[in-house]
């Protein structure tokens, strides 16, 4: 857990979404963004020895964490405070606001950019940040310890410096293609909801240790993409 951060999740059962999130000593507010994922995984095949490739999404990650097929309300999301000093990747249940921790950042480093008014040749408010973050996967149900995700991307910021979702047509950066940041089409369990807002984009690599039957197998993730979409919630921990 990142130094100075006091989040915890507990009370998870194999087929029940039951998470208690404890907030203390964390600057609020904490914003929850629906996060759409597309990733290529590589697993070890057998007989004969071979690679097995699969295209997976955030619904697959949530399913592993739950140990069950998620409902349309149980979606992959990111929790991030206004200071962007840390973040969590979670299952967020839109029906009751329950949260299950999936991965927690051990580092979250940002560089920020100010808007520039070309007509007036003056700098405006800080409106964007780029980040590189390391997440450790939490052992829950079909996810074993040892997994990690290294995520690099960008987030739009409001006038208070908090990550914020804006109209997708406004959420663009000329460096996206060169940095492998790309929007992800929602093909997951809540795909019927058509997003008009986006807070940012990212790409990632990593691996998941997946429990299947009596075995634990490594899912390598040589490349994945995340779209941070609409804001689902705002959490205000006690000061």
Q: pLDDT band at residue 142, thresholds of 50, 70 and 90?
A: very high
Higher pLDDT, 215 or 26: 215
> CB atoms < 10 A from the CB of 48, how many?
5
Please state the pTM of the whole predicted model: 0.86
Could you give the CA distance from residue 37 to residue 227 in angstroms, rounded to a whole number? 7
* Residue 101 neighbours by CB under 8 Å, 6+ apart: 7, 8, 9, 19, 21, 88, 90, 138, 140
In the predicted model, is pLDDT for residue 233 greater than 90? yes
Instruction: Return the minimum-mean-pLDDT range out of 12-16, 140-144, 185-189, 199-203.
Output: 12-16
Q: pLDDT band at residue 237, thresholds of 50, 70 and 90?
A: confident
Domain boundaries, the chain: 9-235
Could you give the CA distance from residue 211 to residue 107 in angstroms, rounded to a whole number? 26
Higher pLDDT, 121 or 166: 166
Share of the chain above pLDDT 90, in %: 68
> Quick one: pLDDT at residue 114?
83
Instruction: Return the minimum-mean-pLDDT range out of 43-47, 99-103, 158-162.
Output: 43-47
> Quick one: pLDDT at residue 11?
34
- Report the chain's mean pLDDT, rounded to a whole number: 86
In the predicted model, is pLDDT for residue 14 greater than 50? no
* pLDDT, average across residues 54-67: 97
pLDDT digits (tens, 9 = 90+) for 16-58: 333 334 344 346 789 999 999 999 999 998 777 889 999 999 9
Higher pLDDT, 94 or 11: 94
In the predicted model, is pLDDT for residue 192 greater than 70? yes
Could you give the CA distance from residue 215 to residue 230 in angstroms, rounded to a whole number? 37
Could you give the CA distance from residue 82 to residue 28 in angstroms, rounded to a whole number? 7
Higher pLDDT, 115 or 212: 212
Q: Is 212 exposed, middle or buried (0-12, 13-18, 19+ CB in 10 A)?
A: exposed
């Amino acid at each position: 857990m990142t130094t100075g951060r006091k989040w915890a999740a507990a009370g998870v059962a194999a087929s029940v979404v039951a998470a208690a999130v404890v907030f203390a000593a964390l600057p609020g507010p904490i914003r929850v963004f629906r996060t759409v994922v597309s990733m290529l995984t590589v697993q070890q095949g057998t007989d004969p020895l071979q690679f097995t490739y699969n295209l997976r999404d955030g619904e697959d990650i949530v399913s592993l964490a739950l140990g069950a097929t998620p409902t349309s309300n149980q979606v992959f999301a990111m929790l991030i405070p206004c200071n962007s000093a840390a973040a969590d990747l979670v299952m967020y249940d839109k029906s009751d606001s329950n949260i299950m921790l999936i991965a927690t950042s051990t580092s979250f480093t940002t560089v920020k950019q100010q808007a520039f008014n070309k007509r007036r040749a003056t700098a405006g408010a800080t409106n964007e940040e780029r980040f590189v973050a390391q997440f450790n996967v939490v052992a829950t149900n079909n996810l074993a310890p040892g997994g990690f995700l290294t995520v690099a991307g960008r987030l739009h910021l409001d006038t208070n410096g908090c990550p914020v979702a804006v109209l997708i047509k406004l959420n663009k950066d000329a460096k996206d293609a060169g940095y492998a940041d790309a929007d992800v089409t929602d093909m997951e369990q809540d795909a019927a909801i058509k997003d008009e807002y986006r807070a940012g984009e990212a790409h990632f690599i990593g691996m998941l240790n997946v429990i299947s039957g009596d075995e634990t197998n490594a899912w390598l993730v040589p490349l994945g993409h995340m779209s941070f979409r609409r804001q689902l919630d705002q959490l205000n921990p006690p000061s």
